[in-house]
Structure 1
């Protein structure tokens, strides 16, 4: 079974992927972790690397290529990332998580030990940068939800309940 999980920063995609991986006993890969690793390799923050990536299409292409290839080679895999659903053709379920901006900002502020106001400013810059890159590189409008099978507000459910909703959905597909 191949599952993609996407969502903007702070929606809980990583938490959801990890929990599902444990409950379903299948591995997961994360575009975010690959992106963060690539930023660290260059000695940059995620924000700096995101801005740098605006001028370097190879970064986005490499992340997408790695995820799509791993999904094609796997029998069971959870692929977490904003664009995963667009590149993983063999997914059985394509999931998108949404969460109110203020909640996302608080989650990121807590996770990264910064103020909510700084997190909000950085999210706005990062998401504009990413949306521009996705459109220019892949001709993908990140706000287009047509590719997804299931869209869930992750603020409405704790991670445990959210994972149960997804597992129940998998039983009917």
Structure 2
């Protein structure tokens, strides 16, 4: 089983991917983890890094993602672009409002995210980062992350608990595996 989870910051991608990986005994991959490791190693926060990411680093991550998709079977990939590089995966997009995403992240901050003084500041930074990345992907790949037809399922997590989202993702996985 191959699953990709894409979505906005704070939508629950990492939390849900980790839960499903454990429940279904899947290997968990995360482009965010790969990028955070590279960014922190170079002394950047992920926000600063996303605006200066060299094409070479994107290419390395893309190649690794594509290789995993071609050589492995039982995994879940928490990534904005994995759906593109692993076309035979079950592709799920998790959406969230910038405000709710910021609230969730503010409650459980990561060292690599950079400190925000307020949820509003974090929401604005998340919006700017999303738009920067979205434009980069359109230019580089001619690929718009917001097109729903790129995914097998699109879930707005804004007003749902993680438990509700997990149940919905599991229902989608179950129905697509039987199809």
TM-score, length-normalised on structure 2? Answer: 0.88
Q: Give me the CA root mean square deviation.
A: 1.5
Name 1:105's counterpart in structure 2.
Answer: 102
- The answer to whether the 8 A contact 2:4-2:82 is kept is yes
In 2: Cα distance, 1:172 partner to 1:142 partner: 24
In 1: Cα distance, 2:147 partner to 2:125 partner: 23
Name 1:15's counterpart in structure 2.
Answer: 15
In 1: Cα distance, 2:36 partner to 2:28 partner: 16
Per-residue deviation, 1:90: 2.2
Mark the runs of 5 or more structure 2 residues left unpaired by the alignment. Answer: 110-114
Mark the runs of 5 or more structure 1 residues left unpaired by the alignment. Answer: none
Name 2:70's counterpart in structure 1.
Answer: 72
Matched, 1:155 2:152: no
In 1: Cα distance, 2:46 partner to 2:151 partner: 26
Matched, 1:57 2:55: yes
Runs of 4+ in 1 over 3 A off after TM superposition: none
Aligned residues: 170
Paired residues for 1:119-138 under 5 Å = 119-138=122-141
Structure 1 residues 47 and 171, CA gap change in structure 2 (3 angstroms): closer
Structure 1 residues 101-154: Cα deviation after superposition (integer angstroms, max 9, x where no partner)? 210121222232632122022112211211121112111112212110111122
- The answer to whether the 8 A contact 2:50-2:133 is kept is yes
Name 2:85's counterpart in structure 1.
Answer: 87
